[in-house]
Amino acid sequence: MALVVTSYIHLKIKARMPHNHPTLINKRVLLGITGGIAAYKTPDLVRKLAELGAQVRIVMSRGAEQFVTPLALQAVSGHIPHNAQMTAESESGMGHIDLARWADIVLIAPATANFIAQLNQGSGHDLLTTVCLATTASVVVSPAMNQQMWKNSTTAENVASLIERGVAFLGPDSGEQACGDVGPGRMLQPQDLAQQLAGLFQTRELEGKHVMLTAGPTWEAIDPVRGITNHSSGKMGYALAEAAAEAGAHVTLVSGPTSLTAPVNVKTIHVRSAAEMHAAVFADIAEQDIFIGVAAVADYRPVDSSDQKIKKNHDEMTILMTKNPDILADVAALKKPPFCVGFAAETNDVETYARAKLERKKLDLIVANHVGGSETGFGSDDNIITLITSSSKQDLPRASKSQLARHIVSRVAELST
């Protein structure tokens, strides 16, 4: 059974009430502003999003500029807002596809009745509508309009149809309106909107589960200053740890040396060698429901590691190496193994090699990682992956590692319960 995912928008819609102070740390929010009076509140909204940790980029529709100035938004976001036009010049910078890929979430606030209609039609007549069509990120709409326009049956049909297709709505609020009417149609207050947006990332799909991950490379010392290692930034493993914690899991991250900051709400154990990683994993593996091996573990280590720096006295040097334990295979071979997920970073014949690994290591799921391209894989923020089980295959389009991490967590939740 082959399944191609074209959009990740369904993920956040499973979100329920937020718990333990959701944040937007490491989240890239693309704020789309359309032409409603509530646009005057967006500089405050940008601040509230930033206070929760978000990086914010802005796209304004032509109408939005009637209500709020690009300069005010630049001052609070630190970036020049993108305007409605798609010109050769703007496309040569961060064009519509780059913006669409950059976003973890697209928030349209305020969203007018007109914009909601265009979104429902799949219109792509300006930068904002085009980004909404091109993104795999969740699109979240915060409506703001006159109460009668909100109640209008065409608007209601557009909203229902968008919800059906996975677009989330935050608000509107009810109360007195700029036009003097009273009723539903006010944009949520910036503080509430920012908090509810952060809450959407907390899916609770792994509520109460214990998840352990390995991440980063390992370092096999030759002497105190030299060693053998693998190419790995740790970004994918850290993004997965963060996504699992946001999904409500108790997460333990066993990390080799990386330059990354430990994710919040994650117990992070720092190790250097494969042997240390193996020991840290097995110290607590009995407690785990799910184990995800993301680390690029060195396959071999020097038999002897010198205590002192080895001098360059010889033209040649031979290092005798011995095989490292396969941490993931050892976990999967336990009498009562957790749900086991592995990674297969391959440059060619990706599916064939990944399937072989799935069977050989007795895994429940393998994430095949295409590391051939220069813009994805090692060190990059993006990845292209395929999720493979013994009976299914799911190709995910190019997306940021954090977006992919949320999708993998969702799939793991589905398969492991």
Binding site for ligand C5P (CB under 6 A): 214, 274, 293-295, 297, 324, 326-328, 342-344, 357
Is there a contact between 293 and 281 (Cβ–Cβ < 8 Å)?
no
What's the min distance (Å) between Cβ of 343 and ligand C5P? 4
Q: Shortest CA distance to 147 belongs to which of 119, 120, 114, 180?
A: 180
What's the min distance (Å) between Cβ of 406 and ligand C5P? 19
Rank residues 127 and 363 by Cβ distance to ligand C5P and give the closer one. Answer: 363
The residue from 178, 179, 286, 356 that is catalytic is: 179
Q: Helix, strand, coil % (nearest 5) of the chain?
A: 35, 25, 40
The dihedral through the CA atoms of 82, 87, 90, 94 has a sign that is positive
Q: According to DSSP H, which parts of 152-273 are helical?
A: 153-164, 190-200, 235-246
Is there a contact between 363 and 343 (Cβ–Cβ < 8 Å)?
no
**Cα-trace Rg, the chain:** 24
Q: φ, ψ for residue 204 (rounded to 5)?
A: 65, 15
179 is catalytic: yes
Give the Cα separation of 398 and 417 in Å (integer).
27
157's CB contacts (< 8 A; 6+ apart) are none
- Integer angstrom CA distances of residue 104 from 138, 141, 412: 7, 14, 20
Q: Shortest CA distance to 407 belongs to which of 14, 11, 137?
A: 11
Rank residues 68 and 387 by Cβ distance to ligand C5P and give the closer one. Answer: 387
Q: According to DSSP H, which parts of 93-203 are helical?
A: 96-102, 113-121, 127-134, 147-151, 153-164, 190-200
What's the min distance (Å) between Cβ of 349 and ligand C5P? 13
Give the Cα separation of 254 and 240 in Å (integer).
12
Q: Is 346 helix (H, G, I), strand (E, B) or coil?
A: strand
Burial of 247 (C-beta count, 10 Å sphere; 0-12/13-18/19+): buried
Rank residues 148 and 268 by Cβ distance to ligand C5P and give the closer one. Answer: 268
Catalytic annotation, residues: 179
